[in-house]
Amino acid sequence: MLGASIERAREMLETTPLVDGHNDLPWALRLLPEVDETRSAAFGVDLEQSQPRLHTDFPRLRAGGVGVQFWSVYVPCRLSGDSAVTAVVQQAELVHTLAAQYPSQLRIARTVEEARTAFADGRIASFLGAEGGHSINESLGVLRALYRLGVRYMTLTHNDNTPWADSATDEPAVGGLSDFGREVVREMNRIGMLVDLSHVAATTMRDALDVAEAPVIFSHSSCRAIADHPRNVPDDVLRRLRDNGGVCMITFVPAFVSPELVEWDRGVRAAMAAAGAKHADLEERQEFLKTWDGPKPPKVGLDAVVAHVEHAREVAGIDHIGLGGDYDGVTELPVGLEDVSTYPNLIAALLDRGWTEEDCAKLAGENALRALSEAEAYATKQ
């Protein structure tokens, strides 16, 4: 189907770093029975070999042309306070351990320049992204410490509100950002950490854009106009990325990209609520679905992701879109985008639709690197 375009896509990614905004491998590893995060990140798991239980391993990262990866240092919302801080530091240490364990594959990057150098040296440049503002326990000192550990974005919320920011998938509490939430955004700008607006309520998105002096990102979100899921970005917010310099990194999560699956998921949410279960808790949801006798989810293909990429381009502009697959953070992916080896399939599909290689390079990674570079430049002036 993709013909010669797949070879063009692969050749392009040899010289253009594909920047993926969000991969949950660190938490997926932590859940494997042979991994003990108190000892070593990947005991018993050789990522240089195929790992069928995961979406990510080095052979497939190489096949997918991934050149720069934001590794999610995710903390579930059931952890709070000091426990959340402990968990996020453990997750950051896990990524550093992986880089030390596989020096021929990964290199920790702290700046865009270091990321480009790592890519030129044949390494996958590795940034960290903290998923969930609850992990700082309302401490700007913890936020700064995470920056020192290599965290270059923080998602202001996960599926639950923080005391200072409303989540997209929780009941509104502060109406967007509180005064402390605005202080968090200012401090992230000051130190050069990207403000990640995936997972937050639309009110929080708008409040953050009102405050932000540096580009914001959505590390793994898609378009609300295409699929009406609260995790997606409304058009008015997408338009504001033009003035802010930000980037919406389109995700592949089927429940966010398929209108049909959005409707199916609403049924799951209602069934879980009736059973007294919490839909926002990912692990609880997975357990619920193992025994739920409701309808099977509809299949989703690569074309659904293409629709979001093209809509975001139309609304935000070619300079404000990127990719954030969310591999190893979900159980199912669209047909054609099943694991990290499949990024060339998406690029090839866009080339077949008339996108230029320059446009595809911006989507693949140049826009994300430009946004981080501008955040770095803003911080140096403070």
Retrieve residue 180's tokens: 């402390």
Residue for token digits 């060339």?
Answer: 344
Tokens of 56: 């990510």
With CA atoms as reference, report the closest residue to 198 among 221, 176, 215: 221
Whether the Cβ atoms of residue 194 and residue 376 lie closer than 8 Å to each other: no
**CA-to-CA distance for 231 and 57, rounded, in angstroms?**
27
Catalytic site positions? 22, 24, 131, 158, 199, 220, 326
* Distance, CA of 77 to CA of 161 (rounded, Å): 9
Helix 179-191 crosses helix 202-211 at what angle (to 10 degrees)?
50
Q: What is the DSSP string of 97-135?
A: HHHHH-TTTEEE-SSHHHHHHHHHTT-EEEEEEEE-GGG
